[in-house]
Amino acid sequence: MPLHSCLNLILIFHLLMLIPSSSSPSPEELSQIPSIFLQHAQHPEVFDWMVDLRRKIHENPELGFQEFETSKLIRAELDRLGISYKYPVAITGVVGFIGTGNPPFVAIRADMDALALQEGVEWEHKSKVPGKMHACGHDAHVAMLLGAAKILQQHRHLIQGTVVLVFQPAEEGGGGAKKMLEAGVLDNVDAIFGLHVSSRHPFGMVISKPGPILAASGFFEAVIGGKGGHAALPQHTIDPILAASNIIVSLQHLVSREADPLDSQVVTIAKFQGGGAFNVIPDSVTIGGTFRAFSKESFIQLKQRIIEVITKQANVQRCNATVEFNEDQKPFFPVTLNDQNLYKHFRTVAGDMLGTNNILDMQPLMGTEDFGFYGEVIPGLFYFVGMKNESVGKFEQGHSPYYIVNEDVLPYGAALHASIATRYLLEYSTKSASTKGHSYDEL
């Protein structure tokens, strides 16, 4: 047995001795949990297992609500670990339970879906499915949450309550989190934590911020109807191309003239389709795009004004317009809002593991996460885990066909998940008002 693993075992043993299940651990004992969990996760036996899982998932990417094989792999590992779970939840989702089965409950979450994208990286474990790729790191997220499950199960004497493992489908636009909530996954749960790997931040660092960190978003599509005809005889037509162009220009006023300059918002037209010949004015034009805001109020206001500007500006040009938001397929995502108290907890635990100088303040982004759905219902905290290390490779942004994951980050994610949840229960169980007396009946 190498020295490394001896040391690890000694530390685990030490922790077992330190914290008998009945008594409360001292502050010093609590502060040791994160680094002990990290060492555990970095142990070759655990590390190699996580790497293997991540590669298997990477080779077989599945799109939102189709994560059947990924879900099967998760359940097989939970079975091996002796962890009970609920399945199916929201089609492919899996919800595991570790601990007493009684309150308080704390949730940790991973997303399972891949993207419709052809992998451009040539490596041994390249995606085997043409046109599909894990290019957002969700393969790593699943491996990390399973890693956390393994650590937690081995330290279940420390869990004063229940850790709920949330493996959700369809993060990439499908609103899998919304479906999980509708299935009652967070009923009686006091708090939820989620993470995302980050290609933009250095390995060994974590990044977050209290308050809003990611925007609310929606998509829209409008059909502008006019009357087609000969391009040389415009007087006999009602030109929807010019009308759509004016609509697009008018939509720019929503952010530049109507929004508070200190309240970030975006309106982008990303789709413009109409006509096909140089000498024919078409009957109609279709435009589409996305809108983003940092508060619910601004989001609702923006949505209302998009409808008004499109329909009324179309009328100015003698055209008609219809606006659709297709919420069935592309649900509106709420703002991802980090709870102040959970942020403090995250800082303390991550600081104990990595040192406070390795916790960076996050610059909010207009991007979205369907984690925001959870945060609307219970206190939530979302953070990023840096993985950039130029000697491993070139770290492209998420959703690039050249996206890579630095697998060294897997133990960090697993240990952060596990220690944040364990310490939440140890430190907050007395404070939280979770004397609701419910428990999950499948336990």
Ligand X SMILES: *[C@@H]1O[C@H](CO)[C@@H](O)[C@H](O)[C@H]1NC(C)=O
Which residues of this protein are in contact with ligand X, per CB under 6 A? Answer: 203-204, 225-227, 238, 319-320, 389, 391-392, 408
Write each residue from 395 to 414 as x if it is in contact with Zn ion (CB under 5 A), else as -, in one continuous string: --------------------
Q: Which is nearer to Zn ion, 171 or 339 (CB)?
A: 171
Record the tokens describing residue 339, joined without a space.
């709870």
Report the distance separating Cα 52 and Cα 125, nearest Å. 10
Angle between helices 27-42 and 340-354 (to 10 degrees): 70
The 3-class SS string of 25-88 reads CCHHHHHHHHHHHHHHHHCHHHHHHHHHHHHHHHHCCCCCCCCHHHHHHHHHHHHHHCCEEEEE
Closest approach, Cβ 399 to Zn ion, in A, equals 6
**CB of residue 354 to ligand X, shortest distance in Å:** 12
420 CB-side CA count, 13 A: 33
| Region 128-147 residues binding Zn ion, contact defined as CB under 5 A | 136
Binding partner of residue 227 among Zn ion, ligand X, none, CB cut-off 5 to 8 Å per kind: ligand X
Tell me which residue has its CB nearest to Zn ion: 136
- Is 350 among the residues that bind Zn ion (CB under 5 A)? no
Q: How far is the CB of 143 from ligand X (least distance, A)?
A: 18
Query: Of 19 and 238, which has the nearer Cβ to ligand X?
Result: 238
Nearest distance from residue 356's CB to Zn ion, in Å?
26
Burial of 177 per CB tally in 10 Å (0-12, 13-18, 19+) = buried
Query: What three-state secondary structure class fits 211?
Result: strand
Instruction: Pick the closer one to ligand X by CB: 301 or 320.
Output: 320
Name the minimum Å distance from CB 279 to ligand X. 21
Nearer to ligand X, 16 or 307 (CB): 307
Instruction: Supply the minimum distance, in Å, between the C-beta of residue 392 and ligand X.
Output: 5
| CA angle in degrees (0–180, nearest 5) for 329-145-160 | 115
Which residue, 81 or 404, is less far from Zn ion as judged by CB? 404
- Strands 162-168 and 105-111, by their bridges, are parallel
Q: Encoding tokens for residue 71?
A: 């879900």
Size of residue set near Zn ion by CB under 5 A: 1
Shorter beta-carbon distance to Zn ion: residue 210 or 398: 398
Quick check: helix, strand or coil at residue 202?
strand
Four-CA torsion 65, 69, 72, 74, nearest 10 degrees:
-80
Task: Select 284 or 432, whichever has its Cβ closest to ligand X.
Answer: 284
Smallest distance from Zn ion to CB 128, Å: 20
Residues in touch with Zn ion (CB under 5 A): 136
